[in-house]
Amino acid sequence: MEHHLLCTSSSLLLLFLFSSVPLTSQFPFGSRKQAYDHSNVTCIESERHALLQLKHGLKDESNRLSSWIGEGYCSWEGVGCHKITGSVLKLDLRNTVPLYSDEDYHCTNCLGGRLTPSLFNLTNLRYLDLSVNNFSTFQVPTFLGLLKNLRYLNLSGAGFHGEIPHHLGNLSHLQYLDLGDSYSSPVWNWLSTKDLGWVVGLASLQGLVLFGGNLTAAQDGLQSINMLSSLTTLDLHSCNLFIHPHLSHVNFTSLASLDLGENNFNNYTVPPWLHNLTGLHDLGLGYNNLSDPIHGLFDQMTSLVHFDLSSNRFDASTLKSLCNASSLTYLDLSENILQGPIPSKIGQLSKLTNLLLSSNKLNGTIPTNLWQLTKLQDFDVRNNSLTGVLSEDHFAKLRELKSLDLTGNSLALNVSSSWIPPFQLQEIGMGSIIVGPRFPAWLRTQNEVEVLNMQNASISDAIPNWFRVLCDNITSLDLSSNSLTGNPLEFKQLKHSRYASREISLSSNKLDGSLKSFPLDISDLDLSHNFLTGHIPQLEDGQTSVVHMLGFLFLNDNRFTGTIPEDLCKLENLSFLDLSNNLLSGRVPLCLGNLRDLWILDLANNTLSGQIPSSLGNLWQLYALHLNGNKFVGKLPASMQRLRNLEALDLGDNGLKDIIPAWIGERLSNLRFLRFQSINFHGPISDTLCQLSHLQVLNLAHNNLTGFIPDCFNNISAMVSAFDIGYGIYGQESLQDIKGGREFEYYASSLRLLKSVSLSANNLVGEIPDGIMELVQLQVLNLSQNHLTGRIPDKIGNLKQLETLDLSMNALFGAIPKSLSDLYSLNFLNLSHNKLSGPIPSGNQLQTLTNPSIYEGNSGLCGKPLPNNCWEHKLPTKNGPIDDDEGHSESDWSWFYAGTGPGFAVGLLGVLGILLFKKSWRYAYFKYIESACDKIWVKTTRLRRNFH
């Protein structure tokens, strides 16, 4: 007992004596084992045992802690000891190596598992760093609050979950606390707290990072943090914390770095207490929707170097007011509402290294003195309305420039083919400006390029051979929507990069020839809309381990022939596969069902044959399946009912022969787009389709469907409500549908809003159900070429969004409802070849539909735009009765004819009865007849005489 007390006392005494020594000099990382006095052996053994218990509770896939063996724990990796006592003062287990190995996506070098309470036995521990690891699902241990000597605690990006323990408030000596997220981590923390009152106990705290923590419920959190007068660094980015507009007294005036981005500011107003923080170097207020003028607010912040005001609503006056902040090196005003030209005073910021003004409404030319900012490294003005021609002279002084983004402006780059820029760019953004027509030769001098965007840059030229070598270092390449010619590029594997994967887009060009192999280490590859020929290449031997990260593969709209190679099944992380609009033949490989991460599979418009593989039912994550325009036969595989996430299903234009399975409506409840046009389906339309409440497009046209149209279509709420639209649609998504009497291709932007029902060219009978008239969001309704009877429903006027209405080639009769003129959006109408009668309604949008063919084949119709007027078109025709001006129906005429005979008989009997019983009338009647006969005889006798 005395021996233990002596050991402890000596350790504490020595720690006190050396407490004034800087923290980093006391415990060098991975220091060698020290020589210890024999009396300290017990203390060293207890700490060694604590470390071994900690190791036992951790998961260590990469064997990072392999050195944790033997007696000399001070030489173990990550362990730092006091130079004299040998006590553990520092434990640095931060993951510093690249997160993802070449073979797998998950972090193989991350430590995981559970932190054991043995850590508490390291009573002298001052530095603990467990950041950028993976302790997913575990909470921050409460026993960390017992490590009273801690000065530094970093748990950022380590995957901790749950409530932040208030026990951390006991660490009164703590100088730095980081519980935030980390962009370099494979997992994020999911921490929250309802009360930040515990931070008041951290009296020595200088740095507090809670980036990404959920502080929504901690409404007085900033008041508590304000009590920490020693704070120099405060990061509350993305905490959704309520920012008080007024603080009773500002205590943290020592702040040098403050990030309040993405929080909840009262009335979107910049708090006036920021005036008092005159020593700030870094200030982040981004993503807060702030709109309050801040002119003069930062005049006293003469030390401000880094200023982030991105994603707010500040106008050009804010930019002008900041032109006097001469100490600024970093200014981000992207995604605001800056209008007008860039102020020329911007040239006064001579220290500026980063100027980010993207996604505003800036116009005019770029001021000349901006090109005098010789220290500029990052210049980003993409997505504005800037104009002008940029020459070599503009860039002559920008020797430090590393990133230049001019994308999305009305700019033109006019430099000579021999120009050698003074800079070495790493990122080049020149999309949608004029760079061509020749391929820019100056790129040959840029040896550090990793990001290159020259899509839609008016380049009409062959890809030079020297550029093929330069591409070996590029991680993000977009040359789409130009007129590039030549063979497709080949890529070598990157040696090193700041980016985890590569993205290549050469779509919408004029590239020809064959594709020799898949590029190595590519995550996104888009070669669509070119003239590529030959077979889709096989993977080279041993290549699958390299291209495992390929997630997006677009080879559509080319001229590839042959079969779909089974090697594609080895790309196990493939999410998007688009091979549509090629000349591919043969059967679909069964192994495609092994691509369990596939979201979109598009094989449309090839000549693929055979049956649809049942293995596709294994693609449980599939969102869209396009197999239309092929030669598939047989029935739908029942396994497809397992595709519960499916939102788009297009099997049209094939040789399938089946009925509409009931399971489509019962199991595929997320369907939004269903196209079964021209696939030889027969039988009735299943009522279960009415269960597809999210359905936006239903196309069953050109089949052999029979029976009645279901009366339950009004249950499809997406066609009733304007709020249910397809948010999950991706940019590559498209769908064909009948509109205006022809096939029309809808792409993602318009497909989101499309609401359409097409049942044309079937054998449907009966009347048009009233349920369809409740689909008030419907834009296209095509029921043509069936055997529908009855009248056009009067409620047709409810379909106010209707643009296309085709009811032609049926047996509909009666009058055209006057409510048809209420359809203000109607631009295509076809009611031809029915048995309609009566006047054609007029007014509103119908006035513009003047083609008589709309109504041809209805002989009972009258009025414009037909040549026959309604007043001379009253009588029935052989095609059926017509309506009079009062709207008499066919049944009215039937009653008329039925009453004519009896009425005539009754009238005749009445006259004869009077003549029989009324003598004077009888004499007068026969006298009139005799006189009339005499006159006729005299006239005929004279005519005969004259004739002779």
Distance separating alpha carbons of residues 179 and 592, to the nearest angstrom: 43
Residue 247 pLDDT class (50, 70, 90 cuts): confident
Q: Helix (H, G, I), strand (E, B), or coil: what is residue 63?
A: coil
Of residues 205 and 883, more confidence is placed in 205
Which residues have C-beta within 8 Å of that of residue 35, sequence separation ≥ 6? none
Phi, psi of 360 (to 5 degrees): -125, -155
For residue 353 the two structure tokens come to 């290294």
Nearest to 33 by CA among 108, 86, 77: 86
Plot region of 198 (φ>0 → left; ψ -120 to 50 → alpha; else → beta): alpha
**Owner of token pair 């470390």:** 51
Is the pLDDT at 902 greater than 80? The verdict is no
pLDDT value at residue 36: 37
Residue 102 pLDDT class (50, 70, 90 cuts): very low
pLDDT value at residue 459: 97
pLDDT value at residue 18: 33
What is the pTM assigned to this prediction? 0.80
Beta partners for residue 462, in sequence order:
485
Beta partners for residue 80, in sequence order:
90
For residue 884 the two structure tokens come to 């009079």
Distance separating alpha carbons of residues 129 and 145, to the nearest angstrom: 15
CA distances from residue 107 to 125, 430, 670 in whole angstroms, order as listed: 28, 35, 34
For the residues 246-262, what does the mean pLDDT come to? 91
For the residues 46-55, what does the mean pLDDT come to? 93
Distance separating alpha carbons of residues 725 and 719, to the nearest angstrom: 9
pLDDT value at residue 539: 76
pLDDT value at residue 302: 82
CB atoms near residue 54 (< 10 Å): 22
Mean pLDDT of the chain: 85
Which residues have C-beta within 8 Å of that of residue 920, sequence separation ≥ 6? none
Q: Helix (H, G, I), strand (E, B), or coil: what is residue 292?
A: coil
Distance separating alpha carbons of residues 833 and 787, to the nearest angstrom: 11
For residue 670 the two structure tokens come to 């997320």
Is the pLDDT at 879 greater than 80? The verdict is no
pLDDT value at residue 888: 46
Q: Are the CB atoms for 803 and 823 separated by under 8 Å?
A: no
Amino acid at 257: S
For residue 786 the two structure tokens come to 């069936």
Is the pLDDT at 555 greater than 50? The verdict is yes
Q: Are the CB atoms for 845 and 822 separated by under 8 Å?
A: no
pLDDT value at residue 907: 63
Alpha carbon of residue 217 to chain centroid:
30
Residue 485 pLDDT class (50, 70, 90 cuts): very high
Distance separating alpha carbons of residues 81 and 74, to the nearest angstrom: 6
Q: Are strands 88-92 and 79-81 parallel, antiparallel or unpaired?
A: antiparallel
Instruction: Give percent of the chain with pLDDT exceeding 70.
Output: 81
Q: Are the CB atoms for 645 and 668 separated by under 8 Å?
A: no
- What DSSP string describes 355-406? EE--SSEEEEPPPGGGGG-TT--EEE--SSEEEEEE-GGGGTT-TT--EEE-
Q: Helix (H, G, I), strand (E, B), or coil: what is residue 746?
A: strand
Is the pLDDT at 405 greater than 90? The verdict is yes
Fill in the DSSP letter of residue 848: G
Q: Are the CB atoms for 357 and 379 separated by under 8 Å?
A: no
CA distances from residue 383 to 432, 436, 452 in whole angstroms, order as listed: 10, 20, 16
pLDDT value at residue 878: 42
pLDDT in tens, 808-846: 999 999 999 999 999 989 999 999 999 999 999 988 888
pLDDT value at residue 919: 57
CA distances from residue 722 to 695, 754, 775 in whole angstroms, order as listed: 12, 11, 10
Per-residue exposure over 276-304, b if at least 16 CB sit within 10 Å of its own CB, e if not: ebeebbbbbbbbbebbbebeebbeebeeb
Distance separating alpha carbons of residues 855 and 866, to the nearest angstrom: 8
Distance separating alpha carbons of residues 527 and 579, to the nearest angstrom: 10
Instruction: Give percent of the chain with pLDDT exceeding 90.
Output: 65
pLDDT value at residue 736: 65
Q: Are the CB atoms for 694 and 672 separated by under 8 Å?
A: yes
CA distances from residue 436 to 263, 313, 447, 604, 930 in whole angstroms, order as listed: 44, 36, 21, 34, 108
Per-residue exposure over 495-528, b if at least 16 CB sit within 10 Å of its own CB, e if not: eeeeeebbbbbbbbbebeeebeebbbbbbbbbbb
Q: In what order do the strands lie in the sheet with 813-814?
A: 813-814, 835-839, 860-862
pLDDT value at residue 541: 60
Instruction: Indicate the range of 161-165, 240-244, 791-795 predicted with least confidence.
Output: 240-244
Of residues 904 and 246, more confidence is placed in 246
Q: Which CATH architecture has domain 333-460?
A: Alpha-Beta Horseshoe (3.80)
- What DSSP string describes 219-247? TTHHHHHTT-TT--EEE-TT---EE-S--
Distance separating alpha carbons of residues 787 and 647, to the nearest angstrom: 31
For residue 403 the two structure tokens come to 């990133």
* Omega before 865 within 30 of 0, i.e. cis: yes
Nearest to 526 by CA among 501, 506, 497, 499: 506
Provide the CB-side half-sphere exposure for 70 (13 A, CA): 10
pLDDT value at residue 187: 82
Is the pLDDT at 25 greater than 50? The verdict is no
Residue 934 pLDDT class (50, 70, 90 cuts): low
Q: Are the CB atoms for 725 and 753 separated by under 8 Å?
A: yes
Provide the CB-side half-sphere exposure for 531 (13 A, CA): 10
pLDDT in tens, 714-735: 999 999 987 766 555 555 666 6
Fill in the DSSP letter of residue 833: S
Residues in the chain, total: 948
pLDDT in tens, 755-770: 999 999 999 999 999 9
Is the pLDDT at 472 greater than 60? The verdict is yes
Phi, psi of 935 (to 5 degrees): -60, -40
For residue 36 the two structure tokens come to 């210890």
Instruction: Indicate the range of 99-103, 433-437, 584-588, 749-753 predicted with least confidence.
Output: 99-103
Cα angle, residue 118 at apex, residues 116 and 124 outer, rounded to 5° = 130
Instruction: Indicate the range of 61-75, 303-317, 737-751 predicted with least confidence.
Output: 737-751
Is the pLDDT at 876 greater than 70? The verdict is no
Nearest to 128 by CA among 20, 59, 51, 40: 51
Alpha-carbon dihedral angle through residues 465, 466, 468, 469, given to the nearest 10 degrees? 140
Distance separating alpha carbons of residues 783 and 701, to the nearest angstrom: 9
Provide the CB-side half-sphere exposure for 557 (13 A, CA): 14
pLDDT in tens, 672-699: 999 999 999 999 999 999 999 999 999 9
Residue 520 pLDDT class (50, 70, 90 cuts): low
pLDDT value at residue 155: 96
pLDDT in tens, 155-165: 999 999 999 99
Provide the CB-side half-sphere exposure for 610 (13 A, CA): 11
For 663-672+683-886, CATH gives: 3.80.10.10
For the residues 350-374, what does the mean pLDDT come to? 96
Instruction: Indicate the range of 21-30, 251-260, 666-675 predicted with least confidence.
Output: 21-30
Cα angle, residue 568 at apex, residues 566 and 571 outer, rounded to 5° = 135
Is the pLDDT at 388 greater than 50? The verdict is yes
Is the pLDDT at 19 greater than 50? The verdict is no
CA Rg, the chain, in Å? 41
* Helices and strands in the chain: count of H runs, count of E runs: 10, 57
Residue 244 pLDDT class (50, 70, 90 cuts): confident
Instruction: Indicate the range of 539-548, 785-794, 814-823 predicted with least confidence.
Output: 539-548
pLDDT value at residue 7: 36
Instruction: Indicate the range of 38-47, 411-420, 775-784, 875-884 predicted with least confidence.
Output: 875-884
- What DSSP string describes 826-885? --EEE--SSEEEEEPP-SGGGGG---GGGSTT-TEEESTTSSS-GGG--S-BTTB----T
Is the pLDDT at 571 greater than 70? The verdict is yes
pLDDT value at residue 707: 96
CB atoms near residue 483 (< 10 Å): 13
Is the pLDDT at 68 greater than 90? The verdict is yes
Query: E strands of 654-748, at which residues?
Result: 655-656, 673-675, 682-683, 697-699, 704-708, 734-739, 742-747
Distance separating alpha carbons of residues 168 and 141, to the nearest angstrom: 10
Of residues 134 and 948, more confidence is placed in 134
Q: Are the CB atoms for 265 and 271 separated by under 8 Å?
A: yes
Q: Are the CB atoms for 509 and 480 separated by under 8 Å?
A: yes
- What DSSP string describes 69-92? -SS-GGGSTTEEE-TTT--EEEEE
pLDDT in tens, 604-627: 999 999 999 999 999 999 999 999
